[in-house]
């Protein structure tokens, strides 16, 4: 009851004020001494309402986990890395861009260990990404929650099936510490487990045999290179990381694309507002491309009629293509000539489908999340994506469609990869 009252009446009060408000008057002088330290703690640790109740409990649990780790690691017996590993399980249960950046590692393992079987534990949202790559032999799909709780997924039928198997190596392919992934790795029978350790040490670290602690340089490197560093430090021998390519993707030409030259697709929807290119810029870009390429189809891909970009479909010669399933959307992208989008999942999906892609970014993602493909070009102005002008984008599109290569850009920071 007290928690419910706090939630209703203390939205704008500090934790120290709440403590004094619900303390009997005779005890307030005593509790007043704790109010200031509590507010100082809140200023460092609290971002949301009632986190002053949740965050201390989490900090206590982390302290207990660290204490158990310090105690139990003394009895933890190291195991021997398998001499000829041939069965691998990669755990990657994140979003599209994360899954796509895991494919170079899977393909590199295929090349380094001929005849090996590479399996992936994915979630329902990104499982299709792994089906389109010849570097993955089998995909296990595990939802985020089971019976309404994310910690109960270990009793999901998928995990019960994995418990009946045995792998030579289980690798947490996230490139960062994850207690959930460490728990899942510990539940799968394996001769060797690899994963990134907790910064301060956690009992979940004991699930790994190859416990990795990444230095600052590795943490600031590209996500694909970071995953390779985790694998190498864990004992795996892998060579160069190939480009991302969906070599198993079946391309069906949608009816929305008319006969003739392949279309230029615009995918303006973005989750991060910092990278949302203005509607007026897209309108100017479409007008300029209509004049330069009068015979080429222009397609606008949006989530639905309520999108702020829906009015762009009124421009002359623009075909509106609603986003449907991930398979249909990726198949559509694969037959386009070029894609213009904001940084995010589409900026990784399109080049992996074999399509030249211009990604627009207002965040500093070039060093860590640049699409792992020579087909992608990232135009980035951190903090002000509107400074990327339609004229710059038109010049890049013309350079690629007419000459087959990107141009160096001096006004916006342009980034592209030329060798893996």
* pLDDT at position 210: 74
What is the full DSSP assignment across 37-74? HHHHHHHHH--STTHHHHHHHHHHHHHHHHHHHHHHGG
- pLDDT tens, 86-117? 999 999 988 889 999 999 999 999 999 999 99
| CA max distance for the chain | 84
* pLDDT at position 11: 43
Residue 154 CA to residue 348 CA, distance in Å, equals: 30
Residue 268 CA to residue 317 CA, distance in Å, equals: 17
- pLDDT tens, 311-335? 887 765 677 777 778 888 898 899 8
**93 phi and psi, to 5 degrees?**
-115, 60
Residue 17 CA to residue 14 CA, distance in Å, equals: 5
* pLDDT at position 257: 52
pLDDT greater than 60 at residue 50: no
pLDDT greater than 80 at residue 221: yes
pLDDT category at 166 given cuts 50, 70, 90 is very high
Contact 102, 173 (CB under 8 A): yes
pLDDT category at 212 given cuts 50, 70, 90 is confident
Q: Which residue has the tokens 């990278």?
A: 275
Top-confidence residue, 393 or 255? 393
Using CA atoms, how far residue 305 sits from 321, 328, 387, in Å, is 11, 19, 27
Domains in the chain (CATH in brackets) are 2-75 (no CATH), 87-233 (3.40.50.2000), 264-415 (3.40.50.2000)
What is the token pair recorded at 246? 């969906």
* pLDDT at position 147: 86
Mean pLDDT, rounded, for 154-180? 91
User: pLDDT averaged over the chain?
Assistant: 82
Alpha-carbon dihedral of residues 139, 140, 143, 146, nearest 10 degrees? 170
- pLDDT tens, 379-403? 999 889 999 999 999 999 999 999 9
pLDDT greater than 70 at residue 5: no
Top-confidence residue, 415 or 262? 262
Mean pLDDT, rounded, for 280-305? 88
pLDDT greater than 50 at residue 10: no
The predicted model scores a pTM of 0.80
Which has the minimum average pLDDT: 124-133, 197-206, 233-242?
Answer: 197-206
Mean pLDDT, rounded, for 158-175? 93
């Amino acid at each position: 009851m007290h928690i419910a009252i706090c939630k209703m009446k203390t939205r704008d009060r500090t934790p120290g004020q709440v403590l004094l408000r619900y303390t009997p008057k005779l005890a307030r002088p005593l509790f007043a001494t704790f109010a200031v330290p509590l507010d100082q703690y809140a200023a460092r640790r609290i971002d949301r309402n009632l986190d002053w109740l949740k965050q201390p409990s989490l900090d206590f649990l982390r302290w207990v986990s660290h204490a158990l780790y310090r105690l139990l690691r003394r009895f933890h017996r190291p195991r021997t890395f398998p001499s000829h590993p041939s069965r691998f399980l990669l755990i990657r249960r994140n979003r599209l861009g994360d899954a796509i950046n895991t494919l170079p590692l899977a393909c590199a393992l295929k090349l380094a260990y001929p005849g090996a079987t590479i399996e992936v534990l994915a979630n329902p949202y990104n499982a299709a990404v792994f089906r389109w790559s010849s570097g993955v032999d089998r995909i296990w799909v595990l939802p985020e929650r089971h019976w309404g709780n994310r910690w109960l997924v270990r009793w999901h039928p998928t995990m019960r099936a994995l418990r009946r198997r045995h792998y030579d190596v289980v690798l947490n392919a996230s490139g960062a510490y994850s207690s959930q992934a460490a728990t899942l790795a510990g539940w799968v029978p394996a001769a060797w487990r690899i994963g990134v350790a907790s910064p301060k040490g956690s009992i979940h670290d004991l699930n790994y045999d190859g416990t990795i602690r990444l230095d600052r340089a590795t943490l600031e490197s590209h996500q694909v290179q970071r995953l390779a560093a985790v694998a190498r430090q864990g004992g795996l021998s892998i060579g160069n990381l190939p480009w991302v390519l969906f070599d198993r993707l079946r391309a069906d030409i949608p009816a929305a694309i008319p006969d003739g030259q392949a279309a230029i697709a615009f995918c303006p929807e973005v989750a991060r507002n910092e990278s949302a290119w203005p509607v007026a810029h897209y309108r100017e870009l479409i007008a300029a491309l209509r004049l330069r390429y009068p015979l080429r189809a222009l397609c606008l891909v949006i989530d639905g009629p309520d999108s702020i970009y829906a009015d762009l479909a009124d421009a002359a010669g623009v075909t509106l293509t609603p986003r449907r399933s991930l398979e249909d959307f990726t198949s559509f992208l694969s037959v386009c000539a070029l894609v213009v989008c904001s940084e995010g999942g589409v900026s990784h999906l399109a080049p992996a489908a074999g399509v030249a892609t211009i990604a627009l970014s207002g965040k500093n993602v070039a060093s860590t999340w640049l699409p792992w493909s020579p087909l992608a070009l990232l135009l980035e102005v951190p903090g002000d994506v509107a400074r990327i002008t339609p004229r710059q984008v038109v010049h890049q599109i013309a350079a690629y469609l007419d000459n087959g290569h990107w141009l160096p850009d001096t006004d916006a920071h342009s980034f592209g990869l030329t060798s893996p």
